[in-house]
A = this chain, B = another copy of it.
Amino acid sequence: MQIVVPYSTDDPKSRLSSILTRDEREEFSRAMCLDVCETIERSGHQPVILSNGQVDTEYDSVIDQRPLTKAVNAHLQSAGLPLGIVMADLCLITVESIERLVATDGEVVLAPGRGGGSNAFVLRVEDFQVDYHGASYLDHRSIARSLDVSLRLVDSYRLGTDIDEPDDLVEVLIHGTGQAKQYLESIGFAIDETEGRVVASR
């Protein structure tokens, strides 16, 4: 199955700007995207990076400068069904979590994430379009209901954990296995348990 990986090259991971420089955010977001693509490939599927700017990569990529929702829906029209959608910052995913996503029946399969996000999809019907604004998980449930389309959920911590905020970095150090974890370690981040809570610090 083709699995599209939406990836922003435009001021990436801005909510990490309190602890990472602009250059670091660019390198870290690229490392996460490559981890995601590599895991998709190892699971036997075809990653396609859908980006709003040039990406230096050997993976297939498509550039579309429109906002995320419009770009994904346009790609959905051109790529055909079934189509997977896995966000580029889901760097904790494993082959097993991709297999569970793809093996789940349903015209629309959705793995929700923190804050009502819609972290990963498999779409098997025309008509369903994505809308990533706000608590999109709730909106996508409503859209599926209004279209009378079967929606199945995938309950996965790894698919549900997108890396957006400083508190999320420790998840990469704990559960990551790829380039994103290596990159954080290379710039000095480590697991810090000194303040009672477990966080990433350098």
**Partner pick for A134 among B159, B161, B193, CB 8 A cutoff:** B193
A192 to chain B, nearest CB (A): 10
Cα distance A135–B138 in the bound complex, in angstroms: 32
Residues of B within 8 A of A134 (CB): 193, 198
Cα distance A174–B28 in the bound complex, in angstroms: 29
Q: How many residues of A contact B (CB 8 A)?
A: 31
- Given A134-B193, A137-B174, A174-B135, are A116 and B198 neighbors across the interface (CB < 8 Å)? yes
Copies in the assembly, this chain: 2
Residues of B within 8 A of A116 (CB): 170, 174, 191, 198
- Given A170-B115, A198-B115, are A191 and B160 neighbors across the interface (CB < 8 Å)? no
Residues of B within 8 A of A112 (CB): 157, 174-175
Q: Is the CB of B191 within 8 A of A135?
A: yes
A87 to chain B, nearest CB (A): 14
Residues of B within 8 A of A115 (CB): 167, 170-171, 174, 197-199
Cα distance A159–B113 in the bound complex, in angstroms: 13
Q: Beyond A115-B171, A115-B198, A160-B160: 18 further Cβ-contacts under 8 Å?
A: A96-B155, A97-B155, A111-B157, A113-B157, A115-B167, A115-B174, A115-B197, A116-B191, A116-B198, A134-B193, A135-B191, A135-B193, A135-B198, A137-B174, A138-B174, A155-B156, A155-B158, A156-B156
Chain A positions within 8 Å of B, measured between CB atoms, are 94, 96-97, 100, 111-116, 134-135, 137-138, 155-161, 167, 170-171, 174-175, 191, 193, 197-199
